[in-house]
Amino acid sequence: MAKRVLILATDGFEQSELLEPKRALEQAGFETVVASPKEGAIKGWNHADWGESVAVDASLDQVSVGDFDALMLPGGAINPDKLRMDRRAVDLVEEFDDAGKPIAAICHGPWLLVEADIVDGRTVTGWPSIRTDLENAGGDVVDQEVAVDGNLITSRKPDDIPAFSKALIDALAD
CA distance 23 to 25: 5
Which positions are catalytic? 107-108
Domain boundaries, the chain: 4-173
Q: How far apart are CA 21 and CA 10, in angstroms?
A: 16
Q: Which strands make up the sheet holding 13-14, listed edge to edge? A: 13-14, 41-46, 49-55
Full pLDDT tens readout for the chain, 174 residues: 799 999 999 999 999 999 999 999 999 999 999 999 999 999 999 989 999 999 999 999 999 999 999 999 999 999 999 999 999 999 999 999 999 999 999 999 999 999 999 999 999 999 999 999 999 999 999 999 999 999 999 999 999 999 999 999 999 998
Long-range contacts of 133-140 (CB under 8 A, 24+ apart): 134/110, 137/113, 139/114
Calpha distance 153→119 (Å, rounded) = 11
Q: Which CATH class is domain 4-173?
A: alpha beta
Q: Check residue 1 and give its pLDDT.
A: 76
Those residues whose C-beta lies under 8 Å from the C-beta of residue 170, and which sit 6 or more positions away, are none
